[in-house]
Every structure is written in C-alpha cells, then in structure tokens.
Amino acid sequence: MTSTSPLRPVIQKGAIIAYGLPELLPKVVVFHCNPDTVNRTFQLNGSTGGGRGDALRVNGPPSETISLSVRIYAADQLEYPASNPVTVQNGLHPAIAALEGLLHPAYPAVIANQAMALAGSAFILSEQAPLAFLIWGARRVVPVLFSGLSFREESFDSKLNPIEVTAELSLRVLTYRDLDVTNPGYWVYLAAFTQKEVMAALDLTVPRSGPVPQPPL
C-alpha cells in the first residue's frame, strides 16, 4: 500500500516490461509490493582449452541469474469495489496471466505457425519468447529470459479467484553474447554494463567514513 504521508518517501516500484513481436504493445507487470530480497548469482564463463598463460581468458561476460519473490495482493482493490470491477470479478487472475505470458510466445505467432502446419508448410518459423526487461530502479535495467516461474496462491474469494499470491521468479540476464546487435536488448545490456563501470569508478573516488587506517610501524 502506497503511503501519502510527507514523512515517508515515495518508493519506486519494480517492474518487468516484455515485448513479444508481432504484438506492438508491451506487457507491463508492475510489482504491487517490492520484494524484500533479490538474489543475484554470477558464474564465470572461462575460456576452454588453451595453453599456459590462458587461465585468465574469459569467454564473454559472466552468466548472471536473478531470483526474487513477488507478493501480489488484491486487498487494496477489493476495498474499493466500485472503482475496481475487474479485480472484483476476476481476482488476481489477470496479474497471474500477465506473468505467465512472459514465458509464452506471442499468440499471433502461435496461430500463424499452427495454420502453416495444417496447410502442410515445410518451413515454419520458430516461436520466440518475449524480450523482457527487469526494471529495478534507474541503476538496474537489464534484458532477461525467464528460466522459471512458480505461484503459491494463498487466499481466495467466494468465487475461488485468488486474491493473495506469491510468485517466485527465476531470471537469466541476457548479454551481448546472447543477442543480435539489431536487438534492442543488446544495447540495453551495454548501457547496464556502462552503468556498472560508472558505479565502480564512484566506489574508488568516494572517501570512506571513519578513521583512516595507519600503516604498521
């Protein structure tokens, strides 16, 4: 629940925005409540083979995975039913479907491929998952691919619509090695890479608080 008290700062909401061509409008999933923790794991992509002196060579950037637990509530909307008829009628089914849709290919592409298959076409384009971006504040916007998604539906209304849900998201960050240069995600990742370089430089220039340790005599 968002507070309007002047004593409490306005907190930005995390979100996932996904584009699934040929659909032009993005799917936007804004977190009702930001997760308390975000787990990030890195694994070095070392170069295979090679001889002496090649131990420090890497095969591109490290593999990064992100996992987070998102809580979704319908309580705020159900408190004002006249202003939220969709939630009253459907509970959190729309929010769940929006998250599930981030793992599915675009519906028009599926129908087109099925029609081509029924017509006996020998060439059918592969169906692609939507290009998704995790937005976690201005300092972290990265292209991601969903590697896992699970729901725990905890409360239901009288029509058995879920009204309280916990979604577990597992994401893999897509890098410039995964995306073509014509893909917007390619440039989004490079922008995030540049952001890391800027933040690392600030860590070296900002003085630390507290007493400066003295070298031993």
Q: What is the pLDDT of residues 5-59, one digit of tens each?
A: 555 556 788 999 988 766 678 888 888 888 889 999 999 887 666 666 677 778 8
Question: What pTM did the predictor assign?
Answer: 0.77
Q: Does residue 171 surpass a pLDDT of 60?
A: yes
The Cα–Cα gap between 166 and 73 comes to 9
What's the mean pLDDT in 84-111? 86
The Cα–Cα gap between 78 and 89 comes to 10
Which range (133-137, 144-148, 204-208) has the least confidence? 204-208
**202 or 22, which is more confident:** 202
> Which strand (E) or helix (H) includes residue 69?
strand 63-73
- Of 16, 13, 14, 189, nearest in space to 102 by CA: 16
Distance of CA 63 to the CA centre of its chain: 15
The Cα–Cα gap between 97 and 102 comes to 9
Question: What local confidence, expressed as pLDDT, does residue 31 receive?
Answer: 85
Q: Give residue-wise pLDDT tens across range 109-137.
A: 777 777 877 877 766 666 677 889 999 98
Question: What local confidence, expressed as pLDDT, does residue 210 receive?
Answer: 61
Question: What local confidence, expressed as pLDDT, does residue 2 receive?
Answer: 47
Question: What local confidence, expressed as pLDDT, does residue 202 receive?
Answer: 87
